[in-house]
Chain A
């Protein structure tokens, strides 16, 4: 076979082979990634739709600054932001309260959020949240969150009890309320922050800190 023929034949084989492989590849119905549709916010952020009674929070209830974080336990960026937010709280322990709202965008998100909520019932909110974030790379693509359960157990969670509690009516209601509020507010990515109701317009640790500082420094 001449070189020219070889080049042409291989080119044709490559195209046909690709077409056949694409044709017979078993397609998965859902993609890995479920970015929320770019919805226009239907509601402006208010004290009511940002902070619900059920929402977990850190820090003093009477803090001057309330930071609302729309949070996905399976999101890398949320994981990266956790120590940053914690550091800011340590710097201003009297002034900052952080309220967590769930946005469930990944495969393991819902299970992980339910583990955290069940942990809350056992007064294990912070250790289990930290254990889940710490082990996130190991479970982030797993709908069963196996590695997350193991990490939560090591952190002291009563797994048997948590598995009973995680589908309780109040947790279902809390998750669907969070999803509804996130949609009404037009939340797209996580983490999305609101500081005293003001949206963080530029993403990043420094802009967040600047916004928090500007609220702390406001005259009472």
Chain B
């Protein structure tokens, strides 16, 4: 980047696209494929869904200052996703939950394409969004 003032719009736009794809993806898995979200999935949804309209408006108005509002959402979602991964990979034990009373957060159902855990996908997307928002921040202050 030789440009003395690199444009923060592109990383902002990428962050929005990621949030949009992630949101439509989980809605598809949950509502169309009919895989009920577990408790922790709901908390991650709570932080992912608002990123879509917030970042969309910011992209529309070219408002890079949105990182101040979007970053806390992404970090909180990232923390929940991290905890979900620790549960999923049995790093921390989950209390035994009876079957037939809602899906388990660490059960084998919590996968897409038969091998990719939803929790890991979520952690990856939140991480990328955080990185992109940090780039937006740097370019804004540059």
A contacts with B, residue count (CB < 8 A): 42
- In the complex, what's the smallest C-beta–C-beta distance from B109 to chain A, in angstroms? 6
Q: Is A181 among interface residues, defined by CB-CB distance under 8 A?
A: no
B27 and A25 contacting across the interface, CB-CB below 8 Å: no
Q: Is B20 among interface residues, defined by CB-CB distance under 8 A?
A: yes
- In the complex, what's the smallest C-beta–C-beta distance from B99 to chain A, in angstroms? 4
Residues of A within 8 A of B101 (CB): 35, 188-189
Q: Which of B32, B98, B102, B104 counts the most chain A CB atoms within 10 A?
A: B98
Q: What is the chain B residue whose CB lies nearest that of A18?
A: B24
A25 and B33 contacting across the interface, CB-CB below 8 Å: yes
- In the complex, what's the smallest C-beta–C-beta distance from A101 to chain B, in angstroms? 14
Q: Is B116 among interface residues, defined by CB-CB distance under 8 A?
A: no
A7 and B60 contacting across the interface, CB-CB below 8 Å: yes
Given contacts A11-B56, A25-B32, contact A3 B62 (CB under 8 A): yes
Q: Is B28 among interface residues, defined by CB-CB distance under 8 A?
A: yes
Q: Is A48 among interface residues, defined by CB-CB distance under 8 A?
A: no
Q: Is A106 among interface residues, defined by CB-CB distance under 8 A?
A: yes
Given contacts A10-B17, A28-B34, A77-B97, contact A21 B28 (CB under 8 A): yes
Q: How far is the CA of A14 from the CA of B109 in the complex (A)?
A: 26
Q: Is B9 among interface residues, defined by CB-CB distance under 8 A?
A: yes
B98 and A203 contacting across the interface, CB-CB below 8 Å: yes
A32 and B98 contacting across the interface, CB-CB below 8 Å: no
Given contacts A7-B60, A33-B36, contact A105 B28 (CB under 8 A): no
Q: Is A76 among interface residues, defined by CB-CB distance under 8 A?
A: yes
Can you give 14 contacting A-B residue pairs, CB < 8 Å?
A7-B16, A17-B24, A22-B32, A25-B28, A27-B34, A32-B34, A72-B99, A103-B100, A137-B108, A190-B99, A190-B100, A191-B98, A192-B98, A203-B96
Q: Which residues of A contact B (CB under 8 A)?
A: 3-4, 6-8, 10-11, 14, 17-18, 21-22, 25, 27-28, 31-36, 72, 75-78, 80-81, 103, 105-106, 137, 140-141, 188-192, 203-205
Q: Which residues of B contact A (CB under 8 A)?
A: 9, 13, 16-17, 20, 24, 27-28, 31-36, 56, 59-60, 62, 95-104, 107-109
